[in-house]
């Protein structure tokens, strides 16, 4: 039986053709699945009973189920743990800002990047998520927001996993979410974050969709970045910066460099000065992120004075910089934390 959740309208029409079902039915079915939350053909009451029976005999609608749900005390953040049909799990976070609702999406079950500050990689990579599994995280949040009279405004492909190691499924999911028969998400409302997979950055620059690129940098030197992020041994900082500059030049989109501040590791004035020198003259900005503590990593956030000193050093050197607003710390909103907690509990 073929799972049709995740298919485009055109792909569904082709699948229906084998059973002599008219192509126009595909438009009805995708709108039920992607806009009205249908999890079975029985819910599609504008289709005849005979057609619903025929569809159910050959196709399924497999949406992940929510196995854990956490709400922050301030009501601005919701974290879901989705379970897929094979038992693998991934996290999705909804962040409600005054300017709109943003969904943070996972692209892999687990991660193999081995970044020192991240909980996602503690249990390694289990598998890539399919395009349908990636899109389902956003559509599930859209279903929830619709009940509140709201919608998904932006997404950040910044959850568990390295999206550029699952390139084809990630791009297919973004293209599906862009369609008017799903949630009609504008590409300019998408930010994709990578640890620095250079061939993927180069490929993305040629894709022809105006999404924003975010680079997980976290260190201003090759030596320190290799210590924090093993991927730097494969794709060195110098190559990552070259690819990012080329992306900005080709797309005319500002690249954001994510920089997690870790006490006594990368948070000194010296590192701030090195970072400013590295990025001077680029179409770029820095997003400073005080680390969301991960107990298994024994890494801690700097105090407020150190954070503001780092920020001011960049500002004084005319580097565009923002300090990320903390959201969801009380519900373990950092990548992988909820999934790891359940895995270690044997759930």
Check the annotation: does 104 bind a ligand. Answer: no
Q: Give 249's Cβ-side CA count (13 Å radius).
A: 9
Is residue 123 exposed (0-12), middle (13-18) or buried (19+ Cβ within 10 Å)? middle
**Catalytic residue flag (residue 335):** yes
Check the annotation: does 118 bind a ligand. Answer: yes
d(CA 316, CA 318): 5
Check the annotation: does 169 bind a ligand. Answer: no
- Residue in 62, 91, 165, 271 annotated catalytic: 91
Whether the CB-CB separation of 13 and 30 falls below 8 Å is answered with no
Check the annotation: does 233 bind a ligand. Answer: no
d(CA 101, CA 155): 8
Check the annotation: does 162 bind a ligand. Answer: yes
Burial 323-342 (b: 16+ CB within 10 A, else e): eeeebbeebbbbbbbbbbee
Residues 6+ apart with CB under 8 A from 8: 30, 175, 176, 179
d(CA 157, CA 148): 24
Check the annotation: does 96 bind a ligand. Answer: no
Check the annotation: does 218 bind a ligand. Answer: yes
**Catalytic residue flag (residue 91):** yes
Number of neighbours of residue 243 by Cβ within 10 angstroms: 24
d(CA 297, CA 265): 13
- Residue in 62, 104, 258, 335 annotated catalytic: 335
Q: Binding-site residues for [4Fe-4S] cluster, please?
A: 111, 115, 118
- Catalytic positions, please? 91, 335
């Amino acid at each position: 039986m073929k799972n049709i959740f995740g298919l485009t309208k055109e792909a569904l029409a082709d699948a229906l053709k084998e059973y002599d079902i008219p192509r126009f039915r595909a438009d009805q079915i995708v709108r039920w699945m992607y806009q009205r939350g249908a999890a079975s053909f029985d819910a599609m009451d504008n289709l005849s009973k005979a057609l619903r029976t025929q569809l159910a005999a050959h196709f399924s609608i497999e949406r992940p189920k929510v196995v854990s749900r956490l709400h922050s005390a301030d009501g601005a953040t919701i974290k879901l743990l989705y379970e897929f049909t094979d038992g693998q799990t991934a996290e999705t976070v909804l962040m409600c800002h005054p300017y709109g609702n943003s969904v943070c999406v996972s692209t892999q079950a687990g991660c193999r990047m081995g970044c020192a500050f991240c909980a996602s990689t503690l249990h390694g990579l289990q598998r890539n998520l399919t395009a349908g599994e990636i899109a389902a995280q956003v559509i599930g949040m859209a279903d929830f927001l619709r009940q509140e009279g709201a919608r998904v405004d932006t997404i950040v492909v910044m959850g568990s996993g390295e999206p550029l190691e699952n390139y084809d499924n990630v791009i297919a999911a973004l293209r599906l979410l862009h369609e008017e028969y799903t949630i009609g998400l504008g590409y300019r409302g998408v930010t994709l974050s990578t640890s620095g997979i250079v061939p993927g950055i180069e490929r993305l620059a040629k894709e022809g969709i105006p999404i924003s690129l975010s680079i997980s940098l976290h260190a201003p030197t090759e030596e320190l970045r290799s210590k924090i992020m093993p991927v730097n041994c494969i794709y060195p900082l110098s190559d990552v910066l070259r690819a990012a500059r080329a992306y900005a030049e080709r797309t005319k989109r500002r690249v954001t460099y994510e920089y997690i501040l870790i006490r006594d590791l990368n948070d000194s004035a010296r590192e701030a000065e090195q970072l400013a020198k590295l990025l001077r003259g680029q179409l770029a900005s820095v997003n400073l992120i005080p680390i969301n503590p991960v107990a298994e990593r024994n890494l801690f956030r700097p105090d407020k004075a150190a954070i503001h000193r780092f920020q001011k050093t960049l500002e004084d050197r005319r580097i565009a910089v923002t300090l990320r607003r903390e959201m969801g710390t009380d519900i373990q909103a950092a990548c992988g934390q909820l999934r790891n907690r359940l895995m270690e509990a044997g759930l």
